């Protein structure tokens, strides 16, 4: 129900930070690959947040209000 994705700007910033980290610290291809793997965004950690937001949206909505028109 909720889109918690990141914008292109945020994604590009993440990639640039990752590239700088690799340039500065990796000395082998294997080290660079491990840095990339470690930098993956872990959306599973946020699953409890998504569950809570979805529960709230589905169960805590405003009550239905009906308006009946009277005869003039």
Sequence spans of domains, the chain: 28-60
* Average model confidence (pLDDT) across the chain: 74
**pLDDT score for 2:** 47
Residue/partner pairs of 34-43 with CB below 8 Å, 24 or more apart: 39/14, 41/6, 41/14, 43/4
Per-residue pLDDT band at 29 (split at 50, 70, 90): very high
pTM: 0.51
Separation CA 20–CA 13 (nearest Å): 11
**pLDDT score for 1:** 44
């Amino acid at each position: 129900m909720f889109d918690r994705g990141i914008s292109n700007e945020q994604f590009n910033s993440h990639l640039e930070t990752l590239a700088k980290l690799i340039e500065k610290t990796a000395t082998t291809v294997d080290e660079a690959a491990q840095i990339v793997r470690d930098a993956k965004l872990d959306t599973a950690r946020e699953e409890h947040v998504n569950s809570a937001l979805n529960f709230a949206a589905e169960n805590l909505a405003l009550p239905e209000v009906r308006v009946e028109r009277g005869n003039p």
